[in-house]
Amino acid sequence: MSNENEGNQGVDESGWDLEPGDESAPLIEAVGRLVRFCREQAGMRVADFAQVMGYGEDMIRKIERGARIPRVEFLDRADDVLNAHGHLRAFMEDVERAQYPKKVRELKELEDRAVEMLLYSNHNVHGLLQTREFAQALLATWRPKLSVEGLDGAVAGRMARQAVFQREPAAELSFVQEQVTLERPIGGTMVLRRQLEHLLEIAQLPNVEFQVMPTARADHPGTSGRIQVLKFGDGTGAGRTDDEFGGRPVSSPRQLQILELRYGIIRTQALSPGESLAFIEQALGAL
């Protein structure tokens, strides 16, 4: 591959543009100034640095002036190239959090705090349960279509949220998925197969209860849309649903009680965890 191609590839892969009003802007601007300082201390021109890194000069300039959120891989390699003695690597964790869209960061912060989650999905496999392939295929169906950069960032943000499964102590997670979400062949048969296999693995974790809501259940309160209830260690909580409270997040005890009541009924009408595992295995056998 030529350097020209590498530069073009870098334009798409080296990071994400800042969203207007993003509170991470001061951090990204500081990181950009540090990259520039380290480059100048190393006696490298922008063109030389860009060539060594495999990115276009314009992309390097965007990163240095804080208009672009660099990938952590960029900072890791730049630290070696510029002999920065770990100063650039020190920002990798902060930059990794900043690279995801603001609403994803806010949701991830809530999920990271939760000690219990009640999650009902009636249209798609829940984001915490999606494989990378499935997430990419699903997000690619959005209209208007996401740019390559936007799709990449959305998938990365969704995958980052799944760190909740590695938490210690683990949160208690309850998922109810509508049957149709496990049958729609998003991305094709092989992508769906791997998604179902992944669900089997997640469903057998000791802190996870996974249930399937059969399409044949005519009278259940899930027709108003998704339900999400997060409970925190201090006794407070947060929740939302598509067709209640204007779709906005809520936190009052009365509003959360409504969502918990609705979720509880859905949970009792769904297949048991054992029956749900058997359903997935049967669906896999039919593919």
Confidence label for 21 from pLDDT (cuts 50, 70 and 90): low
Q: For the chain, what is the HEC assignment?
A: CCHHHHHHHHHHHCEEECCCCCCCHHHHHHHHHHHHHHHHHCCCCHHHHHHHHCCCHHHHHHHHCCCEEECHHHHHHHHHHCCCCCCCHHHHHHHHHHCCCHHHHHHHHHHHHEEEEEEEECCCCCHHHCCHHHHHHHHCCCCCCCCHHHHHHHHHHHHHHHHHHHCCCCCEEEEEEEHHHHCCCCCCHHHHHHHHHHHHHHHCCCCEEEEEECCCCCCCCCCCCCEEEEEECCCCEEEEECCCHHHCCECCHHHHHHHHHHHHHHHHHCCCHHHHHHHHHHHHHHC
**pLDDT 10s digits, 169-225:** 999 999 999 999 999 999 999 999 999 999 999 999 999 999 999 999 988 888 889
- Give pTM, 2 decimals: 0.71
